Amino acid sequence: MGLLSPVWVGTVAESLTSDHEVAGAMAAFEAALSRVLSEHGLVAGAGLGAVDLDPRGLARGSVAPGNPTIPLVAALRAALPGDRAAAVHHGATSQDVVDSALMIVSSAVLGQVEVHLSGLAARLATLADEHRARACVARTLTQQAMPSTLGFRAATWLSGVLDALDAVRWCLPLPVSLGGPVGTAAAYGSAGPAVVASVAEALQLAAPVVSWHTDRSPVLRLAGTLTSVGNACGRICADLLLMAQTEVGEADDGSGGASSAMAHKSNPTRSVLVAAAAHQLPPLLASVAGSGAAASERPPGAWHAEWQPLRTMLRLAGAAAERTAVIATDVTFAEEALARNLATLVAAAGEDGRWAQEQTAHVGVWVDRVLARHAEVRG
């Protein structure tokens, strides 16, 4: 697994979104539901025993019914005596189990993304402050444009990361799904809202106001947040890739990636992989968004189409945050190259060194504004 996805292989996001974790989250939903129904007096003798789940077997068993809930419920019921087996999955539907499991897994990934983005933000704040006055070339449309500072560039990176961090925190907590066959939670009667709230609390999820079987807003918000994370990290790495070009020579992300054909090369591989992740996320967002107009009380096909793109997005965004945090720690900047390239710009503009100083004298004001925002977010 992951042979063609080196950006997320070995990352925390990969492990948190494995088939084993998804199956475990589905079983956790069923266990919480069984326990809550017993507490509310809606079933007798509820409780799940230990079951050794086989994710591959569940996957194979999902082909005929179209989702993995049916084989999961069968496995859980097979491990219990008749009266207790009948209480498993009581009042729920397949979509509740899959949606809730994906929200559990997504919550875990977003928690790690928040940690990585927080660390990345702290490192960028340090870089912005340390290099606030270090003049460098600002580029537009790939060409040398005007003088700026390395600290200002780091501050703009930081601003994007803080935006992504805000989006992650706004997205949490994600909602549980427990609408039953047609969204009305009919099996629980007037106790429905209380049951949903109790299951949500048990799983550390939010209780929705009403079923979201065909209101895919939670998934769309999640997918948009993951894309924002990729954009923030990808933007940093896009800049580093340009700065790392041999002819530019201003930055080194610490990768040292080898070439199979050219021994003299040392490629900025980690930045390349994060940039690749950032490029993949928007099309996946479009795929998830295409499922948003869901029909009736339970959508045919649209809901099913979300699963794999969403998991891939979780892996890509999680990996981007994790790897960019490492890159920001390892990156080094070449003072000589920064000065040489700036001198080329000054000469092309027909100016002298005072021009660069004049153009960058005020930049610290903007750096301070971003650092103040970081202090507020962190505090």
Does residue 173 have a cis bond before it (omega within 30 degrees)? Answer: yes
Q: Is 291 a catalytic residue?
A: no
> Which one from 56, 60, 259, 378 is the annotated catalytic residue?
259
- Nearest-CA neighbor of 146 among 366, 369, 358, 365? 358
The radius of gyration computed from the CA coordinates of the chain, to the nearest angstrom, equals: 25
Residues 6+ apart with CB under 8 A from 189: none
| Cβ atoms 38, 44 nearer than 8 A | yes
Instruction: Note the residue count of the chain.
Output: 379
Question: What is the Cα 40 distance to its own chain's centre?
Answer: 36
Q: Residue 29 half-sphere exposure, CB side, CA atoms within 13 Å?
A: 31
| Angle 59-93-295 from CA coordinates, rounded to 5° | 95
For 151-164, letters b (16+ CB in 10 Å) and e give bbbbbbbbbbbbeb
CA 175/CA 177 separation, integer angstroms: 6
Output DSSP code: residue 306: G
> Which one from 84, 134, 270, 298 is the annotated catalytic residue?
298
CA 363/CA 366 separation, integer angstroms: 6
Q: Is 298 a catalytic residue?
A: yes
Output the CA–CA distances (angstroms, integers) from residue 60 to 50, 54, 57, 89, 300, in the order listed. 21, 10, 5, 21, 20
CA 169/CA 309 separation, integer angstroms: 22
DSSP code string of 57-90: HHHHHTTTTSSTHHHHHHHHHHTS-HHHHHHTTT
For 187-202, letters b (16+ CB in 10 Å) and e give bbeeebeebbbbbbeb
Q: Enumerate the active-site residues.
A: 259, 298
